[in-house]
């Protein structure tokens, strides 16, 4: 219908977003700003501008920059872990799942570059008052360790993996992946799939059950 002269437009109804959606919006904006400008140049004002909200709204959901960065680190790790898991066929034999997971992790620098950059910078820069890292390994990885332990236990039950301490292996496995990601970041000329294959061969050979084992 065409509006005639003098008629006013009806007021636009603004849909109020839930707190959960707003927090996710702010976290997504924070990741983008850190990836683009770096941790030190990331401010609540710049995050608010990217998220298209007021700085006061950012402060309403996250009382200060440190609290926001802590939330971003936790949420980003979940995003990375879920993106990796979603790409796997978890019903495959465990050694095959491991190899696919290592290759998927090696690709994170391409598939999830902003998230990986943000997580790396937060891990390096977010500090407690005494200068120690504000988030430790348990803050980042406990859920990851538990998922890996469950995978290793399944491999032992199906007979593809030998007997070993699944908790120790989960920590070792994740440490190897973190080292791989750091090396690939510092050496972008590296063939990521060649690295991933070499790492997978090393880890799987170490824990695979010998065909001659009873």
CATH of the domain at 56: 1.10.10.60
Same structural domain for residues 97 and 186?
Answer: yes
pTM: 0.83
Domain count, the chain: 2
Residue 151 lies in a domain: yes
Distance linking the first and last C-alpha atoms of the chain: 81
Q: What pLDDT score does 47 carry?
A: 96
Residue 29 lies in a domain: yes
Same structural domain for residues 39 and 107?
Answer: no
Same structural domain for residues 130 and 196?
Answer: yes
Residue 128 pLDDT exceeds 90 = no
Please name the residues in contact with 167: beta carbons below 8 A apart, sequence gap of 6 or more: 145, 149
Residue 213 lies in a domain: no
Angle at 205 between CA 200 and CA 211, to 5 degrees: 135
What is the domain extent for residue 96?
A: 73-207
Residue 3 lies in a domain: no
Tell me the mean pLDDT in the region 3-8: 55
Residue 5 lies in a domain: no
Residue 19 pLDDT exceeds 50 = yes
Asked whether the beta carbons of 98 and 89 are under 8 A apart, the reply is no
Q: What pLDDT score does 25 carry?
A: 94
Angle at 97 between CA 91 and CA 100, to 5 degrees: 130
Q: What pLDDT score does 171 carry?
A: 94
Same structural domain for residues 200 and 125?
Answer: yes
Residue 40 lies in a domain: yes
Task: Give 13's pLDDT tier (boundaries 50, 70, 90).
Answer: very low
Same structural domain for residues 117 and 136?
Answer: yes
Residue 68 lies in a domain: no
């Amino acid at each position: 219908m065409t509006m005639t002269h003098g008629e006013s437009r009806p007021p636009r109804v603004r849909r109020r977003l839930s707190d959960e959606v707003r927090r996710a919006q702010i976290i997504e904006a924070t990741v983008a700003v850190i990836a683009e400008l770096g941790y030190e140049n990331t401010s609540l004002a710049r995050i608010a501008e990217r998220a298209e909200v007021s700085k006061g709204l950012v402060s309403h959901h996250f009382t200060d920059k440190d609290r926001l960065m802590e939330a971003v680190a936790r949420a980003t790790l979940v995003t990375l872990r879920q993106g990796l898991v979603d790409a796997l066929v978890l019903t495959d034999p465990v050694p095959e799942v491991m190899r696919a997971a290592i290759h998927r992790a090696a690709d994170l620098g391409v598939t999830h570059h902003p998230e990986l950059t943000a997580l790396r910078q937060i891990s390096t820069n977010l500090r407690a008052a005494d200068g120690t890292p504000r988030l430790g390994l348990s803050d980042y990885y406990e859920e990851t360790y538990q998922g890996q332990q469950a995978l290793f236990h399944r491999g032992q039950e199906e007979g593809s993996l030998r007997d070993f301490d699944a908790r120790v292996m989960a920590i070792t496995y994740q440490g190897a992946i973190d080292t791989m990601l750091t090396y690939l970041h510092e050496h972008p000329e590296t063939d990521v799939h060649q690295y991933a294959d070499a790492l997978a061969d090393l880890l799987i050979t170490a824990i695979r059950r010998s065909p001659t084992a009873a």
